Amino acid sequence: MLQTNSNTLRLIDKENIHSIYELHTVEAVDHYNTLGIPESIEVTSQILSHWIIKIEAA
């Protein structure tokens, strides 16, 4: 985890997928999201699963 006065960065896990999906569906956030608005939570899960697997294997 990396923490500053204004932000906290931590590794993602499977329990974060729903929150990330909800964040990515906000149109104002889409301006900064290079992947676009996901069609479903399953799409978000597929995108994130690659990174989650690598994190769990480390």
Map out the domains of the chain as residue ranges: 12-57
> Which residues pair with residue 8 across a beta bridge?
3
Give tens-digit pLDDT for 18-31: 999 999 899 888 88
What's the chain's Rg over C-alpha atoms? Answer: 12
pLDDT of residue 36: 85
Average pLDDT over residues 36-45: 92
Burial of 15 (0-12, 13-18, 19+ CB in 10 A): exposed
- Alpha-carbon distance of 25 to 41, in angstroms, equals 10
Alpha-carbon separation of residue 31 from 8, 28, 57, 58 (angstroms): 21, 6, 32, 32
Region 1-29: mean pLDDT is 92
Does 14 have pLDDT greater than 90?
yes
Rounded to two decimals, the pTM is 0.74
